Amino acid sequence: MAITVQMIEDKNFSYKIKGYDPVEVDEFLDQICDEMIAMQDEINALQQKLRSQSTPVPGAFGSVPTPSFKPQAPQKSAVPEQSEKPAPVPAPAPAPAVQHDNSEAAKKLLASAQQVYDQMVSDARREAEEIVSSARDRAESAVGDLEQEKVRIQTEIDTLKASARDYRSRFLRLIEDQTHVINAEMELFKEDE
């Protein structure tokens, strides 16, 4: 499927963490669209030029032109001559030089323009694939980093939970010990009464 300017303009990319700057990507894609439009305009102009040069033009490419002069009747002078000689007839104009067929050159130029266009599209696709591949690699790297961070945080949470359990059990033991001390002191006060 050929990529069109409209497809490039309508393309939306999803946002990922640590991805490319969307403004820069949009500006680059706009430049690609502008270049494609310019190349398409140039190709259309060259095709039009080729079509106009391939139609036969009267008087060109070897056809013999018709003379564009009219012989003038000799003017009679006021003084009659003894023997009037007819005026010399001018020589016919030489036929124009045969023009070279420019259609082959136009075809070569059009083929060259098409190659440049194809190369630009190929380069744009390759660069787009590199951008996507690089973005995918960065996203995978970011996901890997996030997974490691998740494991580290989970380890810290487990450590804090274990510390909290230990603290609670020591606190409960302390409360129990204090309860025994209070109960023992109360027993002492009971005996004094």
More confident residue, 53 or 54: 53
The pTM of the whole model exceeds 0.75 = no
- Whether the Cβ atoms of residue 142 and residue 17 lie closer than 8 Å to each other: yes
Structure tokens at 170: 């020591």
Q: Is residue 91's pLDDT more than 60?
A: no
Distances from the Cα of 154 to the Cα of 51, 107, 140, angstroms: 73, 69, 21
Least-confidence region, from 89-93, 118-122, 146-150, 174-178: 89-93
Q: What angle, rounded to 10 degrees, do the helices at 22-54 and 103-192 form?
A: 170
Closest CA to 137 of 23, 25, 18, 28: 18
Contact between 113 and 48 (Cβ < 8 Å): no
Q: How many CB atoms lie under 10 A from the CB of residue 29?
A: 18
Per-residue confidence (pLDDT) for residue 69, from 0 to 100: 41
The runs of H, that is alpha helices, within the chain are: 5-10, 22-54, 103-192
* Structure-block tokens of residue 4: 């069109």
Residue 191 is predicted with a pLDDT of 58
Q: Which pLDDT score is estimated for 98? A: 45
